[in-house]
Structure 1
Amino acid sequence: MEGKAMPQEESVLRLGRDEALEAARLWQECGDAREFACRVLGSVMNALMDSEAQQMCGASRNERSDGRENSRNGYRPRSLKTAVGDVELEIPKLRHGTYYPEGMLARWSRVDTSVAAIVQEMYVCGVSTRKVERVASKLGISSLSSSEVSSLCSDLDAEVAEFRRRDLSGTPCCYLWLDATYMSCRVGSSVVSQGVVTAIGLGADGRKHFLGCDVVDTESEDSWAAFLGGLRERGLAGVRLVVSDSHAGLVAAVSRLFQGCAWQRCVTHLQRNLQSACSGRPEDSKAAVRDLVHAAVYQDDPDLARCVWAEAAPWVASVSARAGEVFEQAEDSALAFTAFPRAHWAKLRTNNVQERANREIKRRYRVVQSFPSRESMLRLTCASLMETEGQWSQQRVFSEASAAEGFAEPADRPAPTEGRRRALGRRAREIVDEIVERRGLKKE
């Protein structure tokens, strides 16, 4: 009849009197809704399997029939892990051949999709296998072995592979931060230290981007060159400055793969190198070296920064000849950032961008303690980086206009006039003398 909606077919399962009584009995026996759901699901699945086995036999159980093709031979108990809990099944056995409800169990899976999603998320967040098992228990899963957790987490491999192979031609980066962090991993029959090398770039959109990661035995020139070459092959371009520590293999690979790019030596790592070179010296002397480096690299005027560096060099050498050599050789690389826009200096002096990312990786690693394979190490690292990349997509380091300045060729600064050089020299001596006097430093 026009104007009257047709009645919708109800999707509610209607129970007969006997089924309703059985459901009521189960409800009374069960301690909570989860147990009730497991019992009901088990009853339904067992009934479906009985029906399938009956069709394969060509007759009902204990039925005499000329059309019988097989006979039943009891049941095989099986516990199926699902999000509602462990469901106890009785899989029919046959006299001849086998029966296995692959389609039915595959639909639910050994641990169904919702549980898998939880386990994967916990794994990415660095939760230990033992804690994963405890949470699974609260979800009704009585046990979840380490191998099952690892099997579930291997589903991340496709995403990880796509992340590592993605095209970078649409993501030009003016700055590139490189670093490696070391973690324990089983290789063959031994647990050894393996390096995870990572690259972070600043894109034209003013955001940070994880460009790639890999697992290496050591930071050799060849391993870094292979990693950086992979970035170039995937389309990375536009790099004007590379920030890293002074590892010889890394520096050599950068000079080979990124010819024409400036290299910034991380000032924090330089400070550590100088402190190591001053080993055995008085604490005030080592503190003076720290202060002298800080005074030079945190000047607003690039010319004054170099004057302070030159003025400080003999004082650093007076503390330690080895430290003096390191300090003198590091001038150009430690002050390379001054050729770039002043608004970017805070991000370019050090490799803190990488250090923060490494801390997040190590936080997840601490609960793992030792990876069972290089693949699992790479999986967790990349999953962590992918998660951080998602967070970075919501925030900018610089505006697009500011980031564009990083791609521009650094302008040549005019040489200071004679009068300006004298003024800079006087100011540099004042800065250095104040530090020397405060720390009680004396030339040996």
Structure 2
Amino acid sequence: MSEQFESWRIRPLQTHYRIVYLDGIHFGIRHGSGCDSSILLTILGVDLEGNKEMLALQACAEESREGWLSILQDMRSRGAIQIDLFATDGHEGLLGALSELFTATPRQRCLVHKQRNVLSAIPRRERELVQADLVGIWKPEKKEDALANLVAFKAKYAERYPQAVRSLCEDEEHLLTFYDFPVGMHRHIQSTNAIEGFFSNVRQRTDQIDAFTTETSCVRLVWAVMQDIRFHKVTVS
């Protein structure tokens, strides 16, 4: 399995990908009698035909700008240099790496993560009402209407829930990027659900493992599990 994994890890990639999803998943790594959490940085690509492909996996002690720079540079060195859209969460290290290596590439902030962040600043008794307004921001067919809803949301809640509005405004310019792509793509690029689904699949197959012995064994097992996961095509036009 080691040789097969190594061949996969260094294989050439396609030059052009329509969508690239970036995220990380935490695993326990045993160190002597103790156990630490490490993160597996993950790059999932969608080619011009809508086929999903795991482009890279890399274990790091923690999620950082340096870790993301390393895995993204590896992706580029293997040929993937033209990306139409990145779908990401809001981790500062990831955003810093992207701003250095892919300055001109559009980015969509995961709306599921953003919604969760905003609502965490709202009292539970008010969340249902606020959530309806929040989700309503990106429901319209036209981007200009979504922008108007965004302005209205901020005006409505700025005084009552300033922390929630600040959270919404973080990365604000990347919330509505999906409107710049064909309507058929919208549901696929509004969130990082594509890669979250992969993580869920991996968890189901590795949940009997409390902790891995090394980061290398973790990456290789996830890769082995991945061989049995069937990725569904997505709309890219």
Q: TM-score, structure 2 length as denominator?
A: 0.94
Q: Is this contact kept in 2: 1:214–1:227, CA < 8 A? A: yes
Which residue in the other structure is 1:332 paired with? 173
Q: Is this contact kept in 2: 1:316–1:327, CA < 8 A? A: no
How many angstroms apart in 1 are the aligned matches of 2:176 and 2:157?
17
Structure 1: gaps of 5 or more residues = 1-155, 406-444
Which residue in the other structure is 1:159 paired with? 4
How many angstroms apart in 2 are the aligned matches of 1:319 and 1:365?
44
How many angstroms apart in 2 are the aligned matches of 1:277 and 1:241?
29
Q: Is this contact kept in 1: 2:15–2:82, CA < 8 A? A: no
Which residue in the other structure is 1:183 paired with? 27
- What's the CA shift for 1:237? 2.3
Q: Is this contact kept in 1: 2:18–2:85, CA < 8 A? A: yes
Q: Is this contact kept in 2: 1:181–1:197, CA < 8 A? A: yes
Q: Is this contact kept in 2: 1:171–1:204, CA < 8 A? A: no
The within-5 A match list for 1:292-331 is: 292-331=133-172
- What's the CA shift for 1:329? 3.3
The within-5 A match list for 1:42-441 is: 156-168=1-13, 170=14, 172-187=16-31, 190-278=34-122, 281-283=123-125, 285-388=126-229, 391-392=230-231, 395-398=232-235, 403=236, 405=237
- What's the CA shift for 1:189? 5.0
How many angstroms apart in 2 are the aligned matches of 1:386 and 1:236?
21
Could you tell me which amino acid in structure 2 is paired with residue 175 of structure 1? I
Paired residue total: 237
- What's the CA shift for 1:287? 2.0
Question: Is the partner of 1:297 in helix, strand or coil?
Answer: coil
| 1:191-211 Cα shifts (integer Å, max 9, x gaps) | 100101111111012211110
Could you tell me which amino acid in structure 1 is paired with residue 161 of structure 2? S
Q: Who wins on radius of gyration, i.e. which is larger?
A: 1
Structure 2: gaps of 5 or more residues = none
How many angstroms apart in 1 are the aligned matches of 2:105 and 2:57?
21
Could you tell me which amino acid in structure 2 is paired with residue 378 of structure 1? V
Larger relative contact order (Cα-Cα within 8 Å, sequence gap ≥ 6): 2
- What's the CA shift for 1:188? 5.1
Could you tell me which amino acid in structure 1 is paired with residue 120 of structure 2? S
How many angstroms apart in 2 are the aligned matches of 1:364 and 1:376?
15
How many angstroms apart in 1 are the aligned matches of 2:32 and 2:101?
32
- What's the CA shift for 1:384? 2.1
Could you tell me which amino acid in structure 1 is paired with residue 60 of structure 2? V
Structure 1 runs, 4 residues or longer, greater than 4 Å off: none
How many angstroms apart in 1 are the aligned matches of 2:15 and 2:211?
34
| 1:148-182 Cα shifts (integer Å, max 9, x gaps) | xxxxxxxx2111111111101x3520211000010
Could you tell me which amino acid in structure 2 is paired with residue 326 of structure 1? S
Question: Is the partner of 2:81 in helix, strand or coil?
Answer: coil
- What's the CA shift for 1:282? 4.3
Output the aligned Cα RMSD.
1.6
- What's the CA shift for 1:377? 0.5
Q: Is this contact kept in 2: 1:222–1:249, CA < 8 A? A: yes
